[in-house]
C-alpha cells in the first residue's frame, strides 16, 4: 500500500516512528514532512499529503500533530479525503468499518508510540463494511460539490 505521512513539529518524532514501522511492514511510504522538531504550520505538510490521498496518488494517509485536530481539519478540507482523529484503537477501527476513512490522524501529545503503532496497524487491517455505511459515505460527496 502507498501511504502518505505528514506531521508538524509536535508530531515529528511519532511520524518518524510510524513511517519506519510502515516501511518494515512493506508499505511504500511517501513522507511529506516535516523533517525536524523546529516550529512549523501543520497545513504546510497535511495539505499536500491530503491532496495526494484525495487525488489517488496515495492509498491512505497517516498524519500527526499535537492534538490531531489540526491535521484532521486540513485533511478533511480536501475533496476525496475522509480523515478520522483517533486516540484509541476502537475509534480507528470504527472509522474504517463505518466511515471508510482513508486518512488517520493521531494526537502525538496524548498517545505513546507503542499505542500509536497498534492503532495504525489495526486501522490499516480493518476493511470497510459497506452495506448501509456505503450509502452514508456516498452522501459525503454531495457536500464536496459533487452530486
Examine the pLDDT at 13 and tell me if it is beyond 50. Answer: yes
**The pTM is what?**
0.96
Grid cell locating 27: 508499505
| Catalytic residue, candidates 21, 98, 105, 142 | 98
Quickly state the pLDDT bin for 147 (edges 50, 70, 90): very low
Range list of β-strands (E), 8-54? 28-31
Examine the pLDDT at 57 and tell me if it is beyond 50. Answer: yes
Domain region containing 119: 2-143
Q: Which residue would you say has higher pLDDT here, 147 or 124?
A: 124
Could you give the CA distance from residue 145 to residue 147 in angstroms, rounded to a whole number? 7
What are residue 4's phi and psi, to 5 degrees?
A: -85, 135
Q: What is the CATH number of the domain that holds 77?
A: 3.40.1400.10
Q: Mean of the pLDDT values across residues 41-54?
A: 98
The pLDDT of residue 17 is: 98
CA angle 140, 142, 144 (to 5 degrees): 80
133 flagged as catalytic: no
Examine the pLDDT at 69 and tell me if it is beyond 90. Answer: yes
105 flagged as catalytic: no
| Catalytic residue, candidates 9, 27, 65, 105 | 65
Q: Which residue would you say has higher pLDDT here, 21 or 129?
A: 21
Q: pLDDT digits over 92-127, tens only?
A: 999 999 999 999 999 999 999 999 999 999 999 999
What are residue 62's phi and psi, to 5 degrees?
A: -130, 115
Query: In whole angstroms, how far apart are CA 131 and each of 97, 104, 109, 134?
Result: 10, 22, 36, 5
The mean-pLDDT minimum among 87-91, 107-111, 143-147 falls in: 143-147
Number of domains the chain is built from: 1
Query: In whole angstroms, how far apart are CA 115 and each of 23, 86, 108?
Result: 18, 11, 10
Examine the pLDDT at 145 and tell me if it is beyond 90. Answer: no
Mean pLDDT rounded to a whole number for the chain? 96
Query: In whole angstroms, how far apart are CA 102 and each of 9, 35, 52, 81, 96?
Result: 23, 23, 11, 6, 8
Amino acid at each position: 500500500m502507498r501511504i502518505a505521512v505528514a506531521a508538524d513539529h509536535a508530531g515529528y518524532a511519532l511520524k518518524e516512528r510510524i513511517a519506519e514501522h510502515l516501511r518494515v511492514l512493506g508499505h511504500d511510504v511517501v513522507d511529506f514532512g516535516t523533517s525536524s522538531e523546529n516550529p512549523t504550520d501543520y497545513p504546510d505538510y497535511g495539505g499536500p499529503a491530503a491532496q495526494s490521498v484525495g487525488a489517488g496518488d496515495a492509498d491512505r494517509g497517516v498524519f500527526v500533530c499535537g492534538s490531531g485536530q489540526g491535521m484532521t481539519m486540513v485533511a478533511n478540507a480536501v475533496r476525496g479525503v475522509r480523515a478520522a482523529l483517533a486516540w484509541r484503537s476502537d475509534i480507528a477501527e470504527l472509522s474504517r468499518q463505518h466511515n471508510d476513512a482513508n486518512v488517520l490522524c493521531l494526537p502525538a501529545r496524548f498517545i505513546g508510540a507503542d499505542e500509536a503503532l497498534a492503532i495504525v496497524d489495526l486501522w490499516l487491517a480493518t476493511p470497510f463494511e459497506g452495506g448501509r455505511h456505503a450509502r452514508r459515505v456516498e452522501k459525503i460527496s454531495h457536500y464536496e460539490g459533487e452530486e
